[in-house]
Structure formats: C-alpha cells, structure tokens
Chain A
C-alpha cells in the first residue's frame, strides 16, 4: 500500500457526522430499514373462497422487509445516484457500444397493445405484434443481405448458441458433426464458451502483427474435422478483417460454416453487408447496434441472420405470412427445436425498430460513419501521448497498449481508475487479450466534437501525469466516488452473496 497522499489526509479532516458527502448519500440495504407489517402497496380485502392449496400453505415467514412507497422511491433514487451512465457523459467502453438510448423507444415499448400483450393470446388478436416482428426482420435481413433471421435469442451469447447449434444441426443432417471450431485468440470470451458448450473443441487461431487473423495460420488449421469458425468483424482490435472473403471461401471449401460475432456490426451498418462477405450466421446485439438500453447488464436481444444454407435449420418460433394474415410457427418438426420460452425479446424489438425507423437508411449509414470518425479522431488525438496497438486508422474503436506507461509504475487499471475521478467511465481494459495492457476506447456516434476534444485533453493530461512520475496518485484513484477501490480478493475468498439477519448477540456474562 502506498503512503497516504495529501488528498487522502484532507479527506479525513473533511469527514462529516453522517458519513454523507453532499449529494453522495449513504444508503443501507432494504433489509436494514424494513418494519414488519408495513407495505408500499395497498390491496383490497381478500374475498371468501375455498382454500385449494392442500397442505402446502407456507408455514414460515419469508423474511422480506416492509417499506412504504416514499421510502422505496428514495432508496432507489439514492442508489441510482451511485451509478455512472451514458445519460451523464462519455462511456467509452470498447466492444460494448454505449450509445444514446432515445426515450421515444421506451415510450412505444409501453404502448397498450404492445406492453400488455400476452405471448399465448390467440393469433388473431396479435396481428400487429407479428407484423412488427416481420418488419424488424425485414430491416435486419436487408441491412445484412441475408435471407433469414432467427428472432428468439435473448442476447449476444444466446445468439452465438443459436448460430453454432444451427451449424451443428446442418452438419448432423449430412451425418457429419465434426469436431473443431476455429476461434481467434482476440475473440470475446463468449465465443470459446459457446463452441465448448455445443460440444466442439476450440482451436485458437493467432493474430498477425497487424491485429488481424493470421490467414496462413488459419488455413493451416483447416481440415475435414473443422465444423466452422467464429470470427468477429470488425474484430475486437477495432479493425476490419480485410482477408474476410478469403477466410469465408477457405472455410466453405472444407465444408465448414462461417459464424460471425456481430458485436461490432455498428461500425459497418449501411456500408458493408455481412451476406456479401460469405458469412453463414451472425448475431446482432440489438442492445449495442440498435440502441436498446443496456440496463445495467441486460436485458439484451440477439437475433441471428442466416444464410440460405443454414436457414432450414433455424429454431422455432418464427413469423410467416399465412392465408389469414400473419402466423406464428411454434413447431415445425425441424432439427433445431426451441431455444427460449415464448417468442423472443418483443420489448427490445419495438425499441430497435423505433431506433431504425428514426434514422432511416441514410441515417444508419451516417451513424456508422460518425462512430468510425469519432474513434479515429480519438486515435489521432491521443496517438502522440499514448501508444496505439496497431498502425493506421481504425474502425469504431481505438486500441492502445500500455507501452506509454512503461517505467511509470502506473498500470492500465490505475490509469482507468484515474479517469473515473475526471468524470468519465473508463475504457475497456485488458481486452482483447492479444494486446498487452489493452485500453480499448469506443466513443460511438453519440459524442460531439466538443465533448471529444475535452475527453482527449483529459486523457492526454493523465498520460502526462503518469509519465511525470506521479504513480502514487494513480494507485490511490479514484478519490471522489461513493466507494473507492474495493477489495475483490476478500469478496472472492469469503463470499458474502446475500444479506443475513445478524445473529442475536449473547448477553454479557
């Protein structure tokens, strides 16, 4: 532990009686403020009825606290104030695509006739819902130039499962399940996890010194037991895989399939269509590219577009045009079956469609161009003070390694924590794994030039400060947050995963 800096000693002098610091207000758990019998919901009297629970009526208390509505509203308002959010400022988390979440999308998702639709209503009463899914599917298929889309996956990783299972179903139909899936070392962790979950051996492919898949190494690994490959494009280094068409041809030549992780589709929407690249399946994170809110970790939605070769192996359900309007196929005897309860993330579909319609074809193309322009502006602004991982321009995210911190005793993590005190969310750190001490910045199209200029000034200033030898400052950061660095070792060594009532204290002897 480093010696306390001057800032830390000042904090001690300024300690308040309550522990609060102005707008930063301490907030206990709901379990520490509840009272038995109190409730924030009024309900009518229970009418007389025949008890049909058998002997199964709950005998024990649940142990939930009782709070009134104003207490509840204050509790969650105070909690919300301990979060950083895209609504507050630059959130340059590379690979995560933190862009503006329009409130129109929230409004239309809550319309009567959408928010209150039950998934098992008669088909005749949900024609508008099926039409909406069909329209969104049309946008997705057109933007990707792919003939089919499976709408039900609940998130990106779920879409990966859908894609790899579809590939497996297609291969099994030929009586040839195969064994290996080629995955670049720079891949998201979900890729190898998905391939392994589907029973495939993960065969890692190295990156070349330009940050792309090493084509020669890729080709050398191909063989009749290779089921396919999972490649992110643009890749996790923020670069377009310029050999992608050769990669697709090579994998098809040995009878395998090309799965594309579409996490970075936002860089190329309206400019490059994955179907033109030879891709067989790709998930689209509606919560990244089409701006459904991340919500502190979900819910997401991950529709998977499919090539003609894979389309027959898609999961149920899907929408079709029937004799009496739209119909929903919930069972088709196909090889796949079902991946999720009900029909997919309708609430996210509505938001994504509203987002796409708002931009239109021209606006979506402008948005991807602006995202790439903003990332390159950051790269250009920081390249002299920091060390870009690869030469040249980038796509939608700028990647640096930690060479500029050599000899400073400041790590990528320390640097990120100092950004928090400056009012910014840190960039993605230590990912992709192929770059030492990686710092991955994705500004998205949401940021203005002024905002980026300020951001660049601050990050440059921090880099200068690190090089000037002020490591202790970085080691102690952040200083101005509701909580400072947290002890993750303690949390993992002695896991406390829930609140428990304190054991009654023994009377003093």
Chain B
C-alpha cells in the first residue's frame, strides 16, 4: 500500500519492542463480540491510475459549467480563478498544516489570516472580521445567535429577499436552540417593507444585498428603524464581487455583515467547501463567533501574530462558548485572500464593473424576448425573469441544448405556484458575447 511506510519486518520488530504478539493484541479492550477478524465487505486497494479512471468516469457523467454557457447563481457564482491562486494554496506548507495553535511554526497561516480579516473588514465597510466560518448560510445563522446574545432578545426577522437556504438554516437553529424566527414572504419584486415586523422582542433583522432576486437596496433607512427599536441590522452578501461596485453594508448602518466568499478564489465544486465571512463593529468583538488572529510581538520585540481572544471559543469556554465552531474554512480563506490580493483595488473594481455590464447587457437581450419580463429595476450581476411557462421545464429544455440557463425560483420555493415561472439568471465575467447570443437564441426556441 503506497501510503503505508511500515514493512512486515518493521511491524514484527515494533511488536517485539512493545512486548505484544500481534496488532490484534493491542485491541484487547475491544469486546470480543464486536472485534472484526477480517476486512469488511468493500473493494480492495486500487492504484492511482485506477482511482483516477473511476472518478474521471463519474465526472464525465456531469455537465460542468466550464464546458458550456452557464448563467447560474443563487448564492454560488462561476468566476475565473487566476492560475497562481490554485498553485499557491497547494503548497504543502499551507495545505498540510493544522490550525495555527503553535504560533512560532505557523506565522505564515497567521499572517494571511490577519490579511484576510483586514480585507473582509475593508470590503464590508466594518471594523473587524473573523478568520472565516463554514459558508454564507452558517455565518448568517451565527450572526443571528450573536445578535440574540448582544440584545438579550430572541426573535429574528428575516427578509423575503434572503436566500431560502440561509433562511432554512436559521429556522433549523431557531427550532432546536430556542429562538423565534419571523420570515417575510418571498420578495421577488424587491418592494417589501419590514418595519412593521420589528418590535421590542426583535433581536435583529436579516436582509440580503443584492437580494436573492437580484435587487440592490439602500439599507440606511432600515438600519435606522432597527436601531430605534434596539435591534441589530444583519446584512448577508452572497456575491462578494458586488462589493467592488456597490456601497458596502457598513456604510449603510449594518451591525453585522456576513457573506459567502466563494466568488473569490473558490471553485463551485457542487456547493462546497466554501468560505463564510463574518464582520462586525469593534464594540461587539467579544461576542463574535470563530477564530480571531491578532497582532503582537515576540520576546525579541519583532511583530508577529497569534490566535487571540480564545476565551470566547469552545476549547476554553466549553458550554459557555459563543459558538461550537472549531475547524473553519482556512484554505478557502487563503484562496480568497490570494485572489483579492491579485485583483487589488483596481482589479476588483473592474471585475465588478465587468460583471455588472455583462449582466445588464444580458438582461436587455433576454427581456426583449416576447413573453419575458424583467423584475429588476436594480441589479448587480443577477436578476429575476418571469417566463411564459414554468421555469423548471425551460431550464431542462435549455440543458438539453447544453446551456445552463439559470435557477428556477421554484427549486428553492417549492409549492408556491405564483413563483413557478420565475427564473434567476446570473452573468459573470466568464460569460462571453457568444454565450449571450447562444442563450438568447436557445431561449427563443424553447419558448416558441
């Protein structure tokens, strides 16, 4: 077995040194009745080539977004990842290192986490950010539980423009951990008014910007309503590239900003692993979940970094921790960090402009097709179309033409007939003029 260095001779010598007859003897604490004496019923070992063939065959049964025009969004976006990102994150010193609990031998990890925290704070317009969460949905759920702690209240109000998966994750936690959730109905037109749902029991209001349906909102008034009621405003961003062009939540009065960081550096990979971003105000630092990297000095007075404020965390505070999170999304945070460093201010701004331009041009072309209506006055790189027939059928028909045309809203809101014809369409910098032309032609044909 290529991964196992011990030879039979080594094993014999080691057993002799330990003073036992066999490896099985080392399992003597295992009750005899449950101690297996032969391998379980699964295939035997395979060479590298055989494994590659097997997984390659499974991969070839899928239609990857890289091999056809793709217009999928709804919380995960296909962007071009510069070659150096994937090269650098595969350096063994990053890839095969543990959580940086020993700062003297993990300054590399700690420094990039400090840079990552700074980038997230800058992008969101907030004071401080943590060293990552699992994904956007769980980060947003952690924001709700943090708001419950800060306000000592226990009812979250969720916008109908929040990603339904995010809403469902929050509802699950509410149900099992004991807080209330008031979720507004789907807000496809981007016209909801949440202020009437906010009362003295409300710990926070959670909105998404741009919304699940693509609308871009000014949240300043909502922030004021929240603060007047003693509640926090939580803003979730599922497309972080938008922050290159759109006013950041921090400038509109948000108290906590969460985001899905996948768009920068992280491949789609069928939904994970991704990277959750979590940013807030200085005054709430000690209520934050997750790891934090802080600057300090070593005994020689040189600047260095350590994990800090760990008394919030499970390995010290145990049942009183702010969250049970331990492993987070370190390597994805590194990919995010490297991609954003490569882009820089100028690159991110231009990337965001390209995304907006591509989506805006696509919206013009598709909404000109007879029977198709654009729901959005505002958008960043994603929008909602009303089609003359059920969106699921249309998407299946487009897929047969090797075009991934979007996400039917009904997949995330099953059972609501009024949403059956709505289609979410996204366009990033990876969409070419030819892709737009192909989509337009195919959609016309499918709707004919």
Contact = CB atoms under 8 A, between A and B. Distances in A.
Given A29-B118, A58-B246, A127-B62, 9 more contacts: A55-B218, A83-B107, A113-B64, A155-B327, A190-B326, A296-B106, A341-B169, A360-B46, A366-B1
A451 B274 CA distance: 36
Given A83-B94, A295-B330, A342-B76, A377 B29 contact: no
Contact of B178 (A199, A380, A476, A482): A199
B269 A346 contact: yes
B161 interface: no
Contacts of A115: 64, 267-269
Interface residues of B, number: 209
Contact of A63 (B122, B217, B260): B122
A52 B376 contact: yes
Interface stretch (B18-26, B222-230, B439-447): B18-26
Contacts of B243: 58, 62
Given A118-B76, A155-B327, A299-B332, A498 B40 contact: no
A14 to B, nearest CB: 13
Interface in B334-357: 334, 338, 340-351, 353-354, 356-357
B61 A46 contact: no
Interface in B114-158: 114-115, 117-119, 121-123, 125, 127-129, 131-132, 134-138, 145
18 contacts: A64-B344, A64-B345, A73-B87, A86-B96, A104-B48, A106-B95, A126-B63, A128-B60, A129-B58, A155-B326, A158-B325, A196-B321, A338-B168, A340-B169, A420-B102, A449-B13, A486-B305, A491-B296
Interface in B172-216: 172, 175-178, 216
Interface in A82-126: 82-88, 91, 93, 96, 98, 100-102, 104, 106-122, 124-126
Interface string A453-495: 0000000000000000000000010100111111110111001
B41 interface: yes
Nearest to B272: A345
Contacts of A37: 346
B341 A67 contact: yes
Interface in A336-366: 336-348, 350, 353-354, 356-366
Taking each of B75, B90, B93, B334, which has the highest tally of chain A beta carbons within 10 Å of its own beta carbon?
A: B93
Nearest to A267: B27
The 8 closest A-B pairs by CB, nearest first: A342-B271, A295-B331, A128-B61, A87-B92, A119-B271, A299-B273, A297-B330, A113-B59
Contact of B45 (A59, A60, A192, A360): A360
B294 A497 contact: yes
Nearest to A451: B5
B115 A499 contact: yes
A169 B273 contact: no
A132 interface: yes
Contacts of B360: 49-52
Contacts of A158: 134, 138, 325
A66 interface: yes
Given A122-B399, A245-B31, A361-B44, A497 B76 contact: no
Contacts of A393: 18, 20, 25-26, 28
A312 interface: no
B372 interface: no
Taking each of B10, B319, B331, B353, which has the highest tally of chain A beta carbons within 10 Å of its own beta carbon?
A: B319
A179 B319 CA distance: 14
Taking each of A285, A342, A377, which has the highest tally of chain B beta carbons within 10 Å of its own beta carbon?
A: A342
Contacts of B361: 47, 49
B297 A486 contact: yes
B122 A297 contact: no
Interface in B228-275: 243-248, 251, 260, 267-275
A57 B302 CA distance: 41
A220 to B, nearest CB: 21
B416 interface: no
A221 interface: no
B327 A298 contact: yes
A39 interface: yes
Contact of A66 (B94, B137, B344): B344
Contact of A65 (B31, B40, B129, B345): B345
Nearest to B379: A52
B109 interface: yes
A483 B107 contact: yes
A285 B98 CA distance: 14
Given A87-B93, A272-B36, A377-B18, A346 B270 contact: yes
Interface stretch (A250-258, A303-311, A367-375, A403-411): A367-375
A463 B131 CA distance: 36
Interface residues of A, number: 208
Contact of A112 (B66, B328, B348): B66
Contact of A56 (B3, B175, B247, B340): B247
Contacts of B291: 297
A503 to B, nearest CB: 16
A116 B318 contact: no
B91 interface: yes
A79 B334 CA distance: 11
A20 interface: no
Contact of B319 (A93, A100, A142, A202): A202
Given A53-B246, A59-B247, A91-B98, A117 B115 contact: no
Contacts of B389: none
Contacts of A498: 114, 117-118, 121, 127-129
B41 A113 contact: no
B51 to A, nearest CB: 5
A176 interface: no
A194 interface: yes
B42 interface: yes
B260 to A, nearest CB: 7
A294 B244 CA distance: 31
A241 B29 CA distance: 7
A287 to B, nearest CB: 7
Given A47-B361, A64-B122, A113 B84 contact: no
B56 A111 contact: yes
Contacts of A301: 273
Contacts of A446: 3, 5
Contacts of B329: 154, 297-299
Interface in B292-341: 292-300, 302, 304-306, 308-309, 313-321, 323-332, 334, 338, 340-341
A67 B4 contact: no
A294 B98 contact: yes
A83 B250 CA distance: 34
B271 A128 contact: no
Given A114-B269, A345-B273, A43 B296 contact: no
Nearest to B163: A341
A115 B64 CA distance: 8
Contacts of B350: 39, 43, 46
Contacts of B82: 40-41, 69
A498 B407 CA distance: 37
Contacts of A60: 125, 251
A425 B105 contact: yes
Contact of A365 (B39, B313, B320): B39
B96 A342 contact: no
Contacts of A431: 315
A88 B98 CA distance: 13
Contacts of A154: 134-135, 138, 272-273, 329
A293 B331 contact: yes
Contacts of B221: none
B409 to A, nearest CB: 11
B378 A56 contact: yes
B246 to A, nearest CB: 5
B2 A118 contact: no
Interface in A399-438: 416-417, 420, 425-426, 431
A46 B108 CA distance: 36
